[in-house]
């Protein structure tokens, strides 16, 4: 059974992804610092799927903790949702956003490289497109200068991943969401 690490797995998008992964037969390991989520979500995932995913409360900004996690866990792929995400807040707390969103990404990518892992999904954002020149926006639309520190962390993150793919033979994709909503049948 393939093991998938889902960072931010107790957040909205992360928890829905965990449910779908478990329902598809994957073993899921969640890392979440609970800075913008609740441990109660773990019980909801367990109730929906009948499987309690392995959970680690971990701050991905602490490099030694990230290294320790990977030393003690075997992973086949990573879906990285963990990030600060409020555009307005990022304007008032830009350094917190850069430290959290970029630092945690770099530490994960370093461990992917060190352990010869090669599958990575990055939760990016539609903010990388800026104000569109034409609608609808497609995947081939050019990116524009970021309008917030949050958006800039997503653009920088994508660039870091592109460079890592070239240098380390990493398979990666960035998901650029527009207003993710939804719900599970259990709601």
Q: CA-CA distance, 160 to 165, in Å (whole number)?
A: 9
Catalytic residue among 107, 150, 168, 177: 150
DSSP state of 99: I
Residue position matching structure tokens 């380390």: 168
User: Using an 8 Å Cβ cutoff, are 147 and 104 in contact?
Assistant: no
What residues have CB less than 8 Å from 138, skipping those under 6 apart? none
- Residue 4 sits at φ, ψ, to 5 deg, of -115, 125
Residue position matching structure tokens 């107790």: 10
Annotation marks residue 150 as catalytic: yes
Question: Could you count the other beta carbons within 10 Å of the beta carbon of residue 183?
Answer: 8
Active-site annotation, residues = 150
């Amino acid at each position: 059974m393939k093991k998938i690490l889902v960072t931010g797995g107790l957040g909205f998008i992360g928890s829905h992804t965990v449910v779908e992964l478990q329902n598809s037969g994957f073993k899921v390991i969640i890392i979440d610092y609970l800075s913008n989520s609740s441990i109660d979500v773990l019980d909801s995932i367990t109730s929906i799927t009948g499987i309690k995913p392995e959970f680690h409360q971990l701050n991905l900004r602490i490099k030694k903790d990230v290294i320790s996690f990977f030393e003690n866990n075997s992973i086949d792929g990573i879906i990285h949702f963990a990030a600060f995400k409020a555009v307005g807040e990022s304007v008032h707390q830009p350094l917190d956003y850069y430290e959290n969103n970029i630092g945690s990404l770099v530490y994960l990518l370093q461990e992917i490289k060190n352990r010869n892992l090669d599958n990575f999904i990055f939760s990016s954002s539609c903010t990388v497109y800026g104000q569109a020149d034409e609608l609808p926006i497609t995947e081939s639309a050019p990116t524009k200068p970021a309008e917030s520190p949050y958006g800039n962390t997503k653009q920088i993150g994508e660039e870091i991943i592109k460079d890592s793919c070239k240098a380390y033979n990493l398979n990666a994709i960035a998901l650029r969401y527009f207003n993710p909503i939804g719900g599970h049948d259990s709601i």
